[in-house]
């Protein structure tokens, strides 16, 4: 089994990936488009995310609106992407707890090192599964 330094490095890298999954789930920059009118002054950037859509004007003003109805969304966005991103966040949380319990530098379950190693490996496997969740749903053509 790996030493404590490698376990901590792997844990903090996985923690950074989990924070990235949370950020990408919450942020509205999934689909970006822009519109420029007759003058540069009227340029507008449009952003659509899983939970809201935003409009950013060239003056710096940003307006965001939550989606009115879950059923009004595209089927891919509603069923696949949203659900898999939430599952990835939840799996990442469970993986964090299991990984902390299974690391050599923690005292939880210290009496049985074989079981502690298995818990650490299962936490790592859940981290891999959480990272694979968002990528497992095939994206459709850009619209």
Q: What's this model's pTM, rounded to 2 decimal places?
A: 0.76
Lowest mean pLDDT among 52-61, 63-72, 114-123: 63-72
Q: Is the pLDDT of residue 39 over 70?
A: no
Q: Identify the sign of the CA torsion 47, 48, 51, 55.
A: positive
Angle 137-88-86 (CA atoms, 0-180°, nearest 5)? 90
In 3D space, the residue among 61, 125, 74 whose CA is nearest the CA of residue 98 turns out to be 125
Q: Is the pLDDT of residue 73 over 90?
A: no
Distance CA 47, CA 57 (A): 11
Q: Which residues pair with 15 in a beta bridge?
A: none
Q: Is the pLDDT of residue 133 over 70?
A: yes
What pLDDT score was predicted for residue 42? 67
**pLDDT tens digits, residue range 108-125?**
777 788 888 898 899 989
Q: Is the pLDDT of residue 47 over 90?
A: no
The dihedrals phi and psi of 142, each to the nearest 5 degrees, come to -65, 140
In 3D space, the residue among 137, 105, 124, 135 whose CA is nearest the CA of residue 15 turns out to be 124
Domains of the chain: 4-136 (1.20.140.150)
Q: Kindly report the number of other CB atoms within 10 A of residue 105's CB atom.
A: 11
């Amino acid at each position: 089994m790996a030493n404590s330094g490698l376990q901590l490095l792997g844990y903090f890298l996985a923690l950074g990936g989990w924070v990235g999954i949370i950020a990408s789930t919450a942020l509205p920059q999934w689909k970006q488009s822009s519109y420029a009118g007759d003058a540069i002054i009227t340029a507008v950037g449009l952003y659509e995310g899983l939970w809201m859509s935003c409009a950013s004007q060239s003056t710096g003003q940003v307006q965001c609106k939550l989606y009115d109805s879950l059923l009004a969304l595209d089927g891919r966005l509603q069923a696949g992407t949203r659900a898999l991103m939430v599952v990835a966040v939840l799996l990442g949380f469970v993986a964090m707890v299991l990984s902390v319990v299974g690391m050599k530098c923690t005292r939880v379950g210290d009496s049985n090192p074989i079981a502690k190693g298995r818990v650490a490996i299962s936490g790592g496997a859940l981290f891999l599964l959480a990272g694979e969740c968002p990528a497992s749903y095939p994206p459709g053509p850009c619209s």
